[in-house]
Chains A and B, each alone.
Chain A
Amino acid sequence: MEATRATDEELVAAILEGDAALYTDLVERYRGRLINYLNRFLGNAEESEELSQEVFLRVYRALDRYNPKYRFSTWLFRVARNAAIDLIRKRRLKLVPMQRVGRDGQAREREFESEERDPYRTLRNLERRHAIGAAIDGLREEYRELIQLRHFAEMTYEEIAEFKGMPLGTVKNKLFRGRRMLKARLADYLTD
């Protein structure tokens, strides 16, 4: 089987028939999208990458229970969403403070690592990232989730419709409204 042309569902069928190596093709197909989707929940790239591996292994172990009536992506992202929610629940027990206390006793915002050498650009990138995060987080759940699925999990409208159990027209309308809100909130960053 030519893995690059096969659909997800064909790959799953071939894997279940014994060609386990094809699972790496499925992993490569979804890894980036899954990490980005998880990162919107977890806000931590390293943790998202680790969880994505766990999700892929969980799905692999349960592959014989896959229902081909639904898209593979729907199942994969459902497992991922549940895994992220579980992790967030566990994480609530050991919250990492976003502020640290400096030598002078003053509370300071925790800094994130950046490869950018120019401090001005670093600051601007950080501000932009915070603004985008705040704008998305500020959306109502019904819009936020669709924005995450479309722009971070890179799902098609049809995939989102199946994932959410919504008519395609509703997906289009909610994405339109969600993006309109984001556009208004991020207007300062859209003219750069």
Chain B
Amino acid sequence: MTSSDRSDGMASCAHAELIDAWVDGAVSEAERRSAEQHIAECAACRDEARALSALHELLAAERLSPEPLAIDLHAPRTRRRAGRRRVAVAAAALVALFGGALALLATIAPAAGSAASAAATLFDFVATVGMLGAGLLDASWRGLNVAMSSALAPATPALLFGGAAVVGLAGLLFSLLLRRGSRASARQRSRR
């Protein structure tokens, strides 16, 4: 302890510790009354209380005030959920495509006459859907027109209708998937 640590006029006052705790707001109701009564009578303790308040302010001014920030404990779980959702939607799209193809095959088979020609028709259908998909992905009306005119020319009205329905369904599922994906990433961005 240095000499400056001991040089304190207040040390002689029996109420020094009480005044210190009072300034710090760490007193009971009875202690508060006692401290306030003493302060009213003792000039040295009033000065001491003022100096202690200034010390409190000085130390408080040194405290940092960080911006509010919540740790995002849900982020990994949300990412896992989003991942699971994507897989589920993709699986649903595949099932819809496969189911659509089977339904179409069942419609076409009697008209085609045999299983072999039905399979050939189905192959045509898959190629058509693939080319349509390529056309859609290219997002070019021109590409789509070329794909439609080259691939759909020999197709029956039933094939056209079924293909369009399946592609429409796949497109709808795909856009839903994209929208959910972008919403999930926007939510994650806003949390950050």
Interface residues of chain A, those whose CB is within 8 Å of chain B, are: 20-21, 23-24, 27-28, 31-32, 35-36, 39, 45, 48-49, 53, 56-57, 60, 128-129, 132, 140, 147, 150-152, 156-157, 172-173, 175-176, 179-186, 189-191
Binds A, one of B69-77, B87-95, B97-105: B69-77
CA separation between A175 and B55, bound complex, in Å? 13
B115 sits at the interface (CB 8 A): no
B66 sits at the interface (CB 8 A): yes
Determine if B60 and A32 form an interchain contact, defined as CB atoms under 8 angstroms apart. Answer: no
Binds A, one of B17-25, B106-114, B151-159, B169-177: B17-25
Determine if B63 and A36 form an interchain contact, defined as CB atoms under 8 angstroms apart. Answer: yes
Determine if A49 and B66 form an interchain contact, defined as CB atoms under 8 angstroms apart. Answer: yes
Q: Assuming the A-B contacts A31-B66, A184-B8, are A190 and B54 also in contact, with contact meaning beta carbons closer than 8 angstroms in the complex?
A: yes
Contacts of B24 in A (CB 8 A): 150, 175
B52 sits at the interface (CB 8 A): yes
Determine if A190 and B58 form an interchain contact, defined as CB atoms under 8 angstroms apart. Answer: yes
CA separation between A150 and B21, bound complex, in Å? 12
Picked from A35, A60, A157, the residue with its CB within 8 Å of the CB of B26 is A157
Determine if A57 and B64 form an interchain contact, defined as CB atoms under 8 angstroms apart. Answer: no
B29 to chain A, nearest CB (A): 16
What 10 pairs across the A-B complex have the smallest Cβ distances? A24-B70, A190-B54, A181-B5, A176-B20, A151-B59, A184-B4, A176-B17, A36-B63, A157-B26, A183-B55
B41 sits at the interface (CB 8 A): no
Contacts of A181 in B (CB 8 A): 1-2, 4-5
The size of the chain B interface, using a CB distance under 8 A, is 33
Interface residues of chain B, those whose CB is within 8 Å of chain A, are: 1-2, 4-5, 7-8, 10-11, 16-17, 20-21, 24, 26, 51-52, 54-56, 58-60, 62-66, 68-71, 73-74
6 residue pairs bridging A and B, Cβ less than 8 Å apart: A24-B71, A36-B63, A152-B59, A152-B63, A180-B11, A184-B5
Determine if A183 and B73 form an interchain contact, defined as CB atoms under 8 angstroms apart. Answer: no
